[in-house]
Structure 1
């Protein structure tokens, strides 16, 4: 690749952002007042923060490659109580920023948030997506950087390149006790999925349904590393399901892998 090539990694998380579209629950015709009441329900936000603070943020803070930016997209209407709690939670991350926007069409808001976080010196952006109730493994950013550097010359520096991982865990939260499932997806899962493009290209990883990325883009997913933990619970917006192999695992057998790849142990996940 050319000597001037500079790829910057930027993650984007929608934190209860009240967009027009972008949600399954509520439907496309949901009134703004009803959407705000649903998203900002104190009990719901408390549940989201419990997962965000105990699962998502720890996984971001222990990345072996800390050279990435993280953008948290919120609505300007988010009450100060929750905005302050979000700012406090992300304070330990040097390259984290909150982008506050009015309610916009979903993809327009995503493009604007990515543009606001793009470093001036970058030639390419690897933008990845992550929800506020999921976790990535400690090598996720490092693996992403290495994979993109290896594949972009082959795929072409002007063509979008999608990279991700398709092995991980589903953590199903139940009143009678949490259950853990090991999954190996056969289509790309959105969790941690990234798209690399030249700076200025309006397309990003939110443009298409993540399951169909292979239909539109050069796509590579790594199948060896347990790379994510996805939580399954009543607040999920979409129907959480595996596209490939899924198998329930007992906590004792999963414990060594969890301890190796994530900043928490199986006992914590069992209690979460």
Structure 2
């Protein structure tokens, strides 16, 4: 059975909906998203948190669609173009502003669905989160065991619930080991190739309303980075897990995600910004 792994990463996409931070009009949203300082920070986190684990996947057979607007300011648009030229798994989708965010996400992903795949493993990759280097391998391989459940409704979610939460603020980066139920990162939604849905059609915090789900808690599979520019910054429901006494955060992040914690810590101090001014940031 052919399982296509297809991810969607929105990089400061300018659209009418899909955000918790509200703006009165498109001009205000454009000014917010395209602020040079914000874009520089987003690019740093994307480059040093998100990309290392994706580039080191033990199973390189996946597609990641990077979605942004055709008017993304330079040099960031050229940086994305250069990235997709260098990385065969990456695709760039330049989607003009659309009022319906789900339609925009479908327009980005649908051209990249393999019609001869038996099932598509959709995943959402936020541009400041990370998945472990064996995420694609496990999400594809575990489906072979989960297929009988998927066949019941031809929809299924698989939640790799063990991970790390990093908080970047003026004091540097703190690390917390967390089990989070259906976090964005490392949550896979398996659909048939003709479903005409993207991963965004199924909000992660209430995905149980849409399909059966399975939890795979054995090993750290995601990193959630909380920073000044988060749309919400909420951790999500869950609890801690024992990462050792004392925990080797640097070793764990390097081994599982290819993330350099010391580099992130310096950057957070250099940015000298508080957490995001959001009601649930860090909770």
In 2: Cα distance, 1:248 partner to 1:34 partner: 44
Structure 2 match to 1:241: 235
Deviates more, 1:111-120 or 1:152-161: 152-161
In 2: Cα distance, 1:35 partner to 1:136 partner: 29
| SS of match in other structure, 1:148 | helix
In 1: Cα distance, 2:85 partner to 2:160 partner: 28
Residue 67 of structure 2 is aligned to residue 48 of structure 1: no
Residue 253 of structure 2 is aligned to residue 258 of structure 1: yes
Residue 111 of structure 2 is aligned to residue 78 of structure 1: no
Deviation at 1:159, TM superposition (A): 1.5
Structure 2 match to 1:24: 20
- Using structure 2 for the length normalisation, give the TM-score: 0.87
Answer whether contact 1:56 1:134 (CA < 8 A) is retained.
Answer: yes
Deviation at 1:265, TM superposition (A): 4.1
Deviation at 1:216, TM superposition (A): 2.1
In 1: Cα distance, 2:191 partner to 2:250 partner: 37
State which of 172, 185, 188 in structure 2 corresponds to 1:191.
185
In 2: Cα distance, 1:248 partner to 1:171 partner: 16
Unaligned runs of 5+ in 1: none
In 1: Cα distance, 2:164 partner to 2:84 partner: 24
State which of 130, 135, 143 in structure 2 corresponds to 1:140.
135
- Give per-residue Cα distances to partners, 1:69-112, cap 9 Å, x unaligned: 11001112212421101223344321211011111110001111
Deviates more, 1:245-254 or 1:63-72: 245-254
State which of 10, 13, 16 in structure 2 corresponds to 1:14.
10
State which of 88, 94, 111 in structure 2 corresponds to 1:94.
88
In 2: Cα distance, 1:98 partner to 1:258 partner: 28
- Using structure 1 for the length normalisation, give the TM-score: 0.90
In 2: Cα distance, 1:82 partner to 1:113 partner: 19
In 2: Cα distance, 1:37 partner to 1:255 partner: 36
In 2: Cα distance, 1:251 partner to 1:40 partner: 41
Tell me how large the CA RMSD over aligned residues is. 2.1
State which of 181, 188, 199 in structure 1 corresponds to 2:176.
181
Cα distance change of structure 1 residues 210 and 34 upon mapping to structure 2, 3 Å threshold: same
| SS of match in other structure, 1:267 | helix
Residue 118 of structure 2 is aligned to residue 108 of structure 1: no
Unaligned runs of 5+ in 2: 268-283
Structure 2 match to 1:210: 204
Deviation at 1:168, TM superposition (A): 0.6
- Give per-residue Cα distances to partners, 1:158-211, cap 9 Å, x unaligned: 5211113111111101112211111011x2111132211111112332113201
Answer whether contact 2:7 2:64 (CA < 8 A) is retained.
Answer: yes
Structure 2 match to 1:170: 165
Answer whether contact 1:180 1:251 (CA < 8 A) is retained.
Answer: no
Cα distance change of structure 1 residues 94 and 157 upon mapping to structure 2, 3 Å threshold: farther
Answer whether contact 1:183 1:242 (CA < 8 A) is retained.
Answer: no
